[in-house]
Amino acid sequence: MVKKLPLERIIHNQGFGARKLCRLMVWNNEITVNGAPCDDPNAEFDLENLLYTVRGEEWSYREKSYLMLNKPSDYECSHKTQHHPTVYSLLPHPLVVRDVQCIGRLDEDTTGLILMSDDGQFIHRMSSPKHKVPKMYEVTCKHPVDDEQIAHILKGVQLIDEDAPIAALACTRVNEHTLHMTLTEGKYHQVKRMIAAISNRVEGLKRIQIGELKLPDDLEVGDWRWLTASDMAKLGVI
């Protein structure tokens, strides 16, 4: 059975403001549905494949939001920031109203792929340690990295405040200063601490892959896009 909802409620559910504001936008002919104007807030529409515009901007109806962001440096993954802008300022306001959340935080100076959603089950699936979702980082080191140091990372390094050595799932050298390191945990400053444990230092850190989902080459720094069905499959959730 196809689910229908009144237009006012649809716009409200999608994050475009209080019910009263949404009703006013409909009355003021600021909404179109599937290409046609509608000035009746109580008009009901099928939610499946629903396309609408709000003040000229096109949207599609989404019961839940799933997206990726190419995080810039000097942004914080928090609503209450301390020293830098929040990554949520890079999103359209309706998504912020819908309370999309970062799935695992990146440090302010770390860049690259971050997932965001308002689906609690999806957030748990991607972030829970028990699911061991692999995450690959491009690590730029201050000093050249040799085979012995890579072997140490793969065997496990002892970090302060950890009971047992921590090992990378994979670690390959791109060039003498750059590594691709894959982890299944998300401990505090883990990559930086692991590199420090082999007497080196991280000069640049970028997350380039989660599961089988790679950061797209055409997603510019600071931009976001919806996750596709193919993306979700690469994350192992379809």
Which residues carry out catalysis? Answer: 107
Torsion of the alpha carbons at 126, 225, 187 and 165, rounded to the nearest 10: 80
Beta bridge pairs of residue 178: 140, 175
Residue 17's contacts (CB-CB under 8 Å, 6 or more residues apart) are 11, 25, 97
Instruction: Kindly give the pairing relationship between strand 178-183 and strand 66-71.
Output: unpaired
- The rounded distance, in Å, linking the Cα atoms of 214 and 196 is 26
Distance CA 183, CA 175 (A): 20
Sheet holding 57-60, edge to edge: 36-37, 31-33, 51-54, 57-60
Q: Which helix (H) or strand (E) holds 24?
A: helix 19-27
